[in-house]
Amino acid sequence: EMKSKFALKAIVLVLAGAGLVFVGYWFGTQRNMDDATSGTATEKVDAKTGRKVLYWHDPMVPGNKFDKPGKSPFMDMQLVPVYADEASADGGVKINPTLQQNLGIRFATVRLEDVRDAFEMIGTTQFDESASEVVQSRVTGYIDKLYARSPMQRIKRGEAIASIFVPDWIAPQEEYLALKRSGNIELASAARQRMRAMSIPDGLINQADRTGQSQKYYTLSSPVAGVITELSVRDGAMVTPGMTIAKVSGLNKVWLVAEVPETLSNSVHSGMTVEATFSGDANRKYSGKVREILPGISTATRTLQARLELDNRDGSLTPGMLMRVRLDAEKPVSRLLVPSEAVIASGKQSVVLVAGENNSMQPVVVTTGRDTGNDTEILSGLSEGQKVVASGQFLIDSEASLKSVLPKFAGKSQAMQPAASPVHRGIGTVETITPKALTLSHKPIPELEWGAMTMDFNKSRPELFGEIKAGQEVEFSFKENDDGYLLESVTPVGGKQ
C-alpha cells in the first residue's frame, strides 16, 4: 500500500512538471511570435535586406498574401517577400514606360470646366395647330366642283378648294344690273348694299359689273399654304352657312412634341433654344424654341411632354417625323470632367485607373454624373489635376469582374516588366519525364529559400534534354515565368549533355 501511494504521488508530480514545462514553452513561443510579429507585421521590413515589404507569398500560388514570413502552407518552401519598391500596393498595376508606349496607353488630366448642361430627347413632328385655317360656307348652296380631292393634300395659298352654286344670289344680282342699266344710280347703289348684306363678296359683284351678267358660282380658296387636314364635302353636296368645307394647316412652322424625363422636369422651360436633327439624315438640322410644357406626367413612361416650335420655311418637315432634340441650359455650371473612354463600367460600379508614382496605376471607384459630349462628369472619387488612363484599359477590362482581375495583375506586375528573370541553379534526381516537363526531386535551393522537395519544371522546348533518363542525378538551371518554372539546362552529374 505504501508503495502504491508513493507511485501515485510520483505520477502526479511528473504530470504537474510536464504541465509546467508545456505552459512555459507555450508562453515563450507566444512571446517570440509576438515579438516577431511586432517587428515584421507592423513595420513589414525584411530583416536581411532592410527593404520595406508589402506582403509575403508563395510564388507557386501568388494569389494568396501573408502578413509575416514563414513556411508556405502549400509547398515545402519559405514564403517570398514582395517589396514596396517592386510592386504597387492595394491591387495596383505597375507597367514599364516602354511597355506603356508599346501597348498604346494614353493618359488624360482630370479637369474642372464650366459646361452648359445639354439634354437630348426624342420627339415627333406635328402640325402647328395655331396656324390652321378653317374654310367655311357663308350661304346655302351646292358644291358644283370640288378641286381638293382628298385629305392630306398639299395646297398653295389662293389655290381653289371648291366652287359653290348659290341660287339665292342670282335675283339680287339681276335686280342690281337692271337698275344700273336703267340709269337709276341711287336705287342701284342701294341694291349693291343689299348684296353685301347677303355676304355676296365684292369680287363677285365687281365681276358682275364687268361682264353685265349675274355670277352663279362662288369659288372658295385656301387662305394659307399647307396641307388640307380635313375635307368634309363631296361633289354635289349641299352646304349651309357656317358649315366647314375644309381645314388647312400651315407648314411654315411645325410642332415637335418631345418626351422629357421626369427627373429633368425642372430643367426645361418655355423659351429655351433647341436644335433638332432628323433621324434619317444627321446633316439636316433645325433650330427652334420650347413653346410650352404640357401639363401632366405619363404614369407609364414617367415623362412629360414639351411642345417645341421649329422653323420649317423650306417645307422639308412633315408631321410624323422622328427627330432627336438637343436643349442647352442658359447658364454654365462648373463640373469635374474626364474623357468618357477613361471610365470602366463593370455593372455594379464605375472605375477609373489613376496614374501614380513609379509607373503605377491604381483603380479608383468613382461616382459618375452626366455625359457632356465626349466627357463624363465625376461626382466623387477624383480631384482636379490627377492623371487617369484614357486608353489601353483592355489590360484589365475583360468579361471577368474587375474585382477578380486586378489581383491577378497585381500578382504578375513583375512579369509585365521587360527585365529578364534571374537564372537559378539546383541539383536533383529525375523522377519522371513527359514531353513538356521533368519531375525533379531537388535538394534545397538557398537563394530562393526552398527546402528539398519534388516538383515539375517545364521544358523550354519539347525536344530538349532528350538524353536525360529517369533516376539520373542532374544539375539544372531554370527561370521563373507566368506558367511556373522553365528549365534552361539539365546536365547529368559527372557528365555532359
Residue 479 has pLDDT above 70, yes or no: yes
User: Has residue 127 got a pLDDT over 70?
Assistant: yes
Calculate helix-pair angle for 202-211, 185-197, nearest 10 degrees: 140
With 90 as the cut, is the pLDDT of residue 110 above it?
A: yes
Residue type present at position 491: T
Report the distance separating Cα 184 and Cα 192, nearest Å: 12
- Which range, of 41-45, 71-75, 238-242, 421-425, averages the lowest pLDDT? 41-45
Distance CA(141)–CA(241), nearest Å, equals: 9
Question: What domain count does the chain have?
Answer: 4
Q: Are residues 261 and 359 in the same domain?
A: no
Higher pLDDT, 152 or 96: 152
Phi–psi pair at 207, nearest 5 degrees? -65, -35
- Do 113 and 333 touch, CB atoms closer than 8 A? no
Q: Do the domain assignments include residue 211?
A: no
Lowest mean pLDDT across 65-69, 308-312, 405-409, 433-437: 405-409
Pair 130, 256 in one domain: yes
User: Is residue 259 assigned to a domain?
Assistant: yes
d(CA 25, CA 31): 10
Whether 241 maps to a domain, the answer reads yes
Q: Are 288 and 276 in contact (CB under 8 A)?
A: yes
Domain boundary among 286, 303, 331: 331
What is the grid cell recorded at 483? Answer: 506558367
- CATH of residue 278's domain is 2.40.30.170
309 and 162 fall within a common domain: yes
pLDDT band at 225; cut points 50, 70, 90: confident
146 and 285 housed in the same domain: yes
3-class DSSP string for 311-355 = ECCCCCCCCCCEEEEEEECCCCEEEEEEEHHHEEECCCCEEEEEE
- Are 228 and 282 found together in one domain? yes
- Full residue range of the structural domain in which residue 298 is found: 118-166+216-331
155: Cα within 13 Å, side-chain hemisphere:
30
**Band of residue 348 on the pLDDT scale cut at 50, 70, 90:** confident
User: Do 221 and 241 belong together in one domain?
Assistant: yes
251 and 303, same domain (yes or no):
yes
Residue 297 parent element (H or E): strand 281-297
Distance CA 151, CA 130 (A): 19
Closest CA to 221 of 251, 248, 253: 248
Distance CA 90, CA 407 (A): 9
Helix (H) or strand (E) holding 71: none
Rounded-to-integer distance, Cα 152 and Cα 143, Å: 20
H or E stretch including 484? strand 484-492
End-to-end CA distance of the chain: 78
Looking at the structure, tell me whether residues 145 and 283 fall in a common domain. yes
- The whole-angstrom separation of Cα 470 and Cα 369 is 65
Among 59-68, 164-173, 385-394, which is the least confidently predicted range? 59-68
Are both 287 and 298 inside the same structural domain? yes
Residues 205, 208, 213, 218: what is their CA dihedral angle, to the nearest 10 degrees?
-60
Same domain, 339 and 326: no
> Which of the two residues, 370 and 23, has the higher pLDDT score?
370
pLDDT value at residue 247? 92
Residue pair 75/58 in contact (Cβ under 8 Å)? The answer is yes
Mean pLDDT score, 301-329? 86
Residues 312 and 439 in one domain: no
CATH of the domain at 365: 2.40.420.20
Same domain, 124 and 108: no
Which amino acid is it at 449? E
